[in-house]
Copies of this chain bind each other. A is one copy, B any other.
Amino acid sequence: MDDVRMVERVVDTDARDIKFQCKDVQVFYGEKHAIKDVSVDLLDKTVTAFIGPSGCGKSTFLRCLNRMNDTIGIARVQGRMLLDGEDIYDRRVDPVQLRARVGMVFQKPNPFPKSIYDNVAYGPRIHGLARNRAELDEIVEKALRGAALWNEVKDRLGETGTGLSGGQQQRLCIARAVATAPEVLLMDEPCSALDPIATAQVEELIDELRATFSVVIVTHSMQQAARVSQKTAFFHLGNLVEYGDTDDIFTRPRDPRTESYISGRIG
């Protein structure tokens, strides 16, 4: 299959800065070539949606952006990824600092087996974002409100995070990531277990975050991509098939694969 390179088609950056510049990124899981030669520029103060069929490499690519792939023994990453012009795979880069700036919500909710409060307060604590307990409380409350979880858990902040329902856990993880105030937030299907109302609230949150940060979101819901994102990237079999303004992608897809994926839209 011949790759459709994106570089030459990169859309005008609208005077917005490029936050992430990725060039010829390749990811291998052992022998398996999971990401093939992907080049893409992600913009600042923008929501970018990654769409594509299951198993096409969205999560893999997302995990490259904050070097979470380092933790998978067999994963190898090649190519260059520049965050604000600095190569994040440079030997001098401290992945910890990188991840503090590039936060992540995982596809499978993974709350710590600690209290709800501690789950959210963990990031602010290690990064010293609060000067005192009151400030920390405030950060926690704000994050939980943002993730539309506050009302459900405000009376049980001391209970363990793993005792929550699936959707609640997912929102807890969102709150946890938001509380750390990253510059870039990577969200891997953040609303997959949420009901419509909670989804709307999270989407609202994403929209708010966009004012200051960039957000990258993986989603299977075309509607959601259309609602929240300004840019959309369509992945297929490890290739980045098409990348552009969300409107364009959904209304005038240039690649036949994009078109057939979008038109097969169901729900």
Q: Once the chains are docked, how many angstroms separate the CA of A267 from the CA of B264?
A: 16
State how many residues of chain A have any CB contact under 8 Å with chain B: 42
**Does the CB pair B167–A55 fall under 8 Å?**
yes
**Does the CB pair B164–A198 fall under 8 Å?**
no
Which residues from B are CB-within-8-Å of A191?
267
**Does the CB pair B171–A266 fall under 8 Å?**
no
A52 to chain B, nearest CB (A): 7
Q: Once the chains are docked, how many angstroms separate the CA of A227 from the CA of B267?
A: 10
**Does the CB pair A265–B109 fall under 8 Å?**
no
- The contact string, 1 if C-beta is below 8 Å from chain B, for chain A 234-247, is 00000000000000
- The contact string, 1 if C-beta is below 8 Å from chain B, for chain A 186-202, is 00110111111111100
Kindly report how many copies of this chain are found in the complex they form together.
2
Q: Once the chains are docked, how many angstroms separate the CA of A108 from the CA of B109?
A: 8
- Among the 9-residue stretches A86-94, A95-103, A215-223, the one with 4 or more Cβ atoms under 8 Å from chain B is A215-223
A59 at the interface (CB under 8 A from B): yes
**Does the CB pair B221–A267 fall under 8 Å?**
yes
A126 to chain B, nearest CB (A): 26
A212 at the interface (CB under 8 A from B): no
Residue of B nearest to A220 (CB): B195
Q: List 16 A-B contacts (CB under 8 A).
A: A52-B195, A53-B195, A54-B167, A54-B168, A55-B165, A55-B168, A59-B165, A108-B166, A167-B220, A189-B193, A193-B220, A196-B267, A197-B266, A199-B267, A200-B264, A200-B266
